Amino acid sequence: MRNLSLIVHNLQPENKETPIQFIESDILGPKLFYRRNHFSFPTLTFSNYWLPVNGYVDTPRIFSMQEILKLPARTIKVVLECAGNKRGFFEPKVFGEQWEKGAMSHGYWKGVSLRSFLELVGIKEDSKEVIVEGYDYGKRTDTDRVYSFTRSVPLEKALHPDSIIAYEYNNQPIPFFHGYPLRLIVPNFYAMASVKWIKQITVIDSIYKGPFQSIDYVYYPNKNNDEGAFPVTAMNVNSTIQKPLDREILNTGTHTIKGIAWTGQGSISKVEISTDNGQNWRLANIRNSGPGDYGWFPWSYEWTVNVKGEYTIMAKATDSTNRTQPASPFWNRKGYGYNAYDKITIKVE
Amino acid sequence: MRNLSLIVHNLQPENKETPIQFIESDILGPKLFYRRNHFSFPTLTFSNYWLPVNGYVDTPRIFSMQEILKLPARTIKVVLECAGNKRGFFEPKVFGEQWEKGAMSHGYWKGVSLRSFLELVGIKEDSKEVIVEGYDYGKRTDTDRVYSFTRSVPLEKALHPDSIIAYEYNNQPIPFFHGYPLRLIVPNFYAMASVKWIKQITVIDSIYKGPFQSIDYVYYPNKNNDEGAFPVTAMNVNSTIQKPLDREILNTGTHTIKGIAWTGQGSISKVEISTDNGQNWRLANIRNSGPGDYGWFPWSYEWTVNVKGEYTIMAKATDSTNRTQPASPFWNRKGYGYNAYDKITIKVE
């Protein structure tokens, strides 16, 4: 791992992905945790951090870090995946960061259920959403106004005990680049929901329409109009081949094909591998992630190849709710949710 | 630059490219110098380095570093470009490292003309080539034998005073990963000619047939046979757009399009930019690299755009020998010498 670093896509704002093919440990440390930003990093100058929880509630409150650290905590293993992960593979191509396969992370988050805060302030009946605002802000290319990065969580999701206000990542304070001191973690959802550098939490009785909800992070099925648009929420079932590498040249013999699979709904029930461009499929061995867990599932498959030539290798994951990766991705104008079969081509000589 | 690192393509052997779009300084330091290896890094255990120069010569000799450092030296500014740079853009795709645009470097090399060594040992009449062997070695996928990385230089090129046995890069000893203590530098040629970690130099009266010359670094125009094959030698005329980024979203207004151009023959005489997918071309401003110099040429072009929409931007360089980048690359089975117009697509909103 010492020999690896993030792959830069942009510096202003900073967008870098994980060299996912080379990740051997199951838990990703801060150094190789992808960075996805809409704006410059915020400058947090407070000497004491306070978390306001307000809006459509009985008793608005401001929580100190000391208070937060005393509340009952839980630790969950989570895949965070950028909604634009694998965007670079859409055909026709779309605009925006050309992420390959590494806009995702995997590790332990510890914090307090968002629900606990909502109970402490007492949300009013008819509350509909919980808005979480980050300290990061700036201009968008499509407007002249300044916006902060703010997203709402539907009430049902906000009340799920595993939606947490996290203060630790892998037993350490959250690294600055990933949301220090507090980050919302919404398991199962694409990572735009997991707002970094939380500034405040506001309960509302309406539907929030901020640009990171009403313009971005929306699936637009058509290139030239917004018909059929719907919001990006839970992660699609997905998998990535880590080894061999695409366009690698191998010898005849036995090779381990390995990778990871994950989903935003249930757990992974099987991963199938094809070494003949999708004609035949065989089950890979999966390392189970355990219940109550939102982690990825490492898998592997031993492949013996004696005939020289070119081979297209595919991986296809299925989850416990019977969602399966499709042969072709669902094309959408902003390039979210790519989850077609993962595919590489290698040559045996 | 502090925020940048190499982009990994492989770890065994180590192959990493420069994030070339983000390079702002003209000279590349060791940290962002691409790494291209055929084998593991050699373990150099000698406490004293000696350079044998032997073969078809009057007086074979072994030079100490002390002797070498006393010989007349020259410093040259050189582009080193991997013959496989931009390989990932060939269609149909080819096998091997999928380099994008950053398998190249730019800096000052200091050393002694190879010619000086050849004069000191006295090459015999009818000498044809000079073999330079590196300390790196290993197995290839296509054979079971162990080979060192060894290449020959045609006598005419070996006698050119700017073909040097270098011991410094940018006024420092050559970094280990780039050939310490001695590296052959052959300006104008693709960088496979610039053998790292020199073990010995041997003059021969025949044509060398090592695999890095007779199998690799050969243009094979056909997918299924070797007809029409010819060796990879001088760099093609080429250019790369550094800014804007491919698939970037911009505002209306004035933007600087900038990049670099280089050639393995003469110097760059012009760079033309099209912002309408190749219909119209305008001259970019070039910063001249100066005579006696094998460096790249930074260029820039101010572009004012007031109409929203998608734009395909192209760069096309021409050198002083009238070679121009082609619209389509010369496809070859191993994917060398890609030099089609550089091309990006952006959106203005």
Residues B188 and B265 in one domain: no
What is the reported pLDDT for B1? 58
* Model confidence pTM above 0.90: yes
pLDDT > 70: percent of chain B: 98
**Number of Cα atoms under 13 Å in the Cβ half of residue A212:** 27
**Are residues B11 and A4, on separate chains, in Cβ contact within 8 Å?**
yes
Regarding whether A67 and A194 lie in a shared domain, the answer is yes
How many independent structural domains does chain A possess? 2
In a domain, A227, yes or no: no
| pLDDT of the residue at B114 | 98
Give residue B291's pLDDT band: very low, low, confident or very high (50, 70, 90). low
Query: Is B349's CB within 8 Å of A142's CB?
Result: yes
pLDDT tens digits for range B115-172: 999 999 999 999 999 999 999 999 998 878 999 999 999 999 999 999 999 999 999 9
Residues A192 and A276 in one domain: no
- Residue at B223 is within a domain: no
Report yes or no on A17 lying in a domain.
yes
Residues A156-213: tens digit of each pLDDT: 999 999 999 999 999 999 999 999 999 999 999 999 999 999 999 999 999 999 999 9
Residue of A11, A19, A93 with shortest CB distance to B8: A19
Asked if residue A339 is part of any domain, the answer here is yes
What is the distance between the alpha carbons of residues A268 and A287, in angstroms, rounded to a whole number?
A: 10
CATH of the domain at A329: 2.60.40.650
3-state secondary structure of A284: coil
Side-chain half-sphere CA neighbours of A7 within 13 A: 21
Mean pLDDT of chain A: 96
Q: Where are the alpha helices (DSSP H) in chain B?
A: 65-70, 114-121, 155-158, 211-214
Task: Tell me whether residue B326 is in a domain.
Answer: yes
Do A13 and A158 belong together in one domain?
Answer: yes
B11 — pLDDT class (breaks 50, 70, 90): very high
Distance CA(B223)–CA(A160), nearest Å, equals: 57
A71 touches chain B (CB under 8 A): no
Residue B201's pLDDT is: 98
Q: Are A44 and A197 in contact (CB under 8 A)?
A: yes
Query: Does residue A144 share a domain with residue A21?
Result: yes
**Chain B residues whose beta carbon lies within 8 Å of the beta carbon of residue A10:** 245
Regarding whether B246 and B101 lie in a shared domain, the answer is: no
Assess contact for A149 and A212: CB atoms under 8 A.
yes
Find the domain containing A289 and state its range: 238-348
Distance CA A254, CA A348 (A): 11
Name which of A4, A8, A249 is nearest B141 (Cβ-Cβ). Answer: A249
Give tens-digit pLDDT for A22-74: 999 889 999 999 999 999 999 987 778 999 999 999 999 999 999 999 999 99
pLDDT of residue A1: 57
Supply A117's token pair.
């805060």
User: What b/e sequence results for B232-266 when a residue is b if at least 16 CB atoms lie within 10 Å of its CB, and e otherwise?
Assistant: bbbbbbbbbbbebbbbbbbeeeebebbbbbbbbee
A138 — contact with chain B (CB < 8 Å)?
Answer: no
- The answer to whether residue B292 scores a pLDDT higher than 70 is no
CATH of the domain at A212: 3.90.420.10
Among A163-167, A250-254, B46-50, the minimum mean pLDDT is found in B46-50
**Domain annotation covers residue B76:** yes
ipTM, interface predicted TM-score of the complex: 0.92
Residues A36 and A149 in one domain: yes
B208 and B262 inside one domain: no
Q: How far is CA A192 from CA A36, A55, A91, A146, A232, in A?
A: 9, 22, 23, 19, 9
Interface test with B, best of A15, A20, A90, A141 (most B CBs within 10 A): A141
Each residue's pLDDT tens digit, A257-270: 999 999 999 999 99
Query: Any CB–CB contact under 8 A between B176 and chain A?
Result: no
Average pLDDT on B98-127 reads 97
Same domain? For A130 and A208 the reply is yes
Is residue A292 over pLDDT 60?
Answer: no
Q: Model confidence at B45, in pLDDT bands (50, 70, 90)?
A: confident
Closest CA to A285 of A271, A295, A275: A271
Same domain, B189 and B280: no
Interface subset of B 249-308, CB within 8 angstroms of A: 249-251
Distance CA B300, CA B295 (A): 17
Residue B227 included in any domain? no
B135 and B25 share a domain?
A: yes
Torsion of CA A261, A341, A329, A90, to 10 degrees: 90
B144 touches chain A (CB under 8 A): no
Yes or no, beta carbons of B95 and A346 under 8 Å apart: yes
**Per-residue pLDDT tens digits for A102-156:** 999 999 999 999 999 999 999 999 999 999 999 999 999 887 899 999 999 999 9
Specify if B226 maps to a domain.
Answer: no
Tokens of B231: 């060796």
Question: Is residue B69 domain-shared with residue B207, that is, in the same domain?
Answer: yes
State the average pLDDT for chain B: 96
Does A223 lie at the interface with B, CB-CB under 8 angstroms? no
Q: Does pLDDT of B285 surpass 60?
A: yes
pLDDT in tens, A333-345: 999 999 999 999 9
Contacts of A8 in chain B (CB under 8 A): 3-5, 7, 19, 22
Report the C-alpha gap between B107 and B53 in whole angstroms.
27
Q: Using one digit for the tens of pLDDT, what is the confidence trace for A81-102?
A: 999 999 999 999 999 999 999 9
